[in-house]
Copies of this chain bind each other. A is one copy, B any other.
Amino acid sequence: MKQKIVFLGAGNLATNLSKALFNSGFDILQVYSRTIASAKMLAEQLQATYTNNLKHINKTADIYFIAVKDDAIVDILSAIDRRNKLVVHCSGSTSIEVLADFSNNYGVFYPLQTFSKNRAVVFKSIPIFLEANNAENLNVLQSIAVKLSDVVEEATSEQRLSLHVAAVFACNFVNYLYAVAADILKDNHIDFKHIQPLIEETARKIQLMPPKKAQTGPAVRYDKAIINKHVDFLKDHPDYQQIYELISHAIYRQNC
């Protein structure tokens, strides 16, 4: 029998994960969010009830998924009493141990992906990293994870933190660099779509060769004349200039 689930959180991760669980046949009883409109909007997609009051959290679920900002996890746990239920957080950077004070059964369920509420992702290829306080709870989480994804792995809290840090570089910071490129092109009346084949190829290339080997451009050639020309071109954007110089030096040092 599939477990009954309560979802605490209605943000990007909560939305995507709860919908994936719902679509895999799990019964989502209730959605909690501080913002009642967010709770309602998600709950309606999951045929669930909703609340913005921690005192009204449904007590009959088997598993409580907490997918909120990291520093809100403990606040939520303090407010609900679920000592004998399986309590799971979904955070990359929070240790499993924060759950120990609040339940005898706890674990971590961490899908490594960037989620936006209004963009559906294919869960099958998203790696899910699990940790639990004992083998039995790990089994429960594994049985859920394999219904969502083909890639289910165990990871310690320290490994999960490293995954999150790596993801910040490879996703959040990468996306910021895309935004810088978009801004530069806009200033020069060039459609952002023209750089998309380059962005795609850059992402595809490292499936076949390690990133260090895939490195191209003026920094890895240490083409000082071009680097200076680019820094000068960015003179109206001191923040972009600073990033340009810092990463160019880092690329050069990496390849020395």
Q: Which residues of A contact B (CB under 8 A)?
A: 12, 69-71, 93, 112-116, 119, 121, 125-127, 151, 153, 155, 158-159, 161-182, 184-185, 187-190, 192, 194-212, 214-221, 223, 225-226, 229-230, 233-234, 239-240, 242-244, 246-247, 250-251, 253-254
What B residues does A175 contact at CB under 8 A? Answer: 202, 205-206, 211, 214-216
Determine if B182 and A210 form an interchain contact, defined as CB atoms under 8 angstroms apart: yes
| Cβ-closest chain B residue relative to A159 | B188
* Complex CA distance for A230 and B229, rounded to whole angstroms: 34
| Cβ-closest chain B residue relative to A226 | B93
Residues A230 and B174 in contact in the complex (CB < 8 Å), given A162-B188, A214-B116: no
* Complex CA distance for A177 and B163, rounded to whole angstroms: 14
Residues A250 and B254 in contact in the complex (CB < 8 Å), given A178-B206, A202-B174: no
Determine if A202 and B169 form an interchain contact, defined as CB atoms under 8 angstroms apart: no
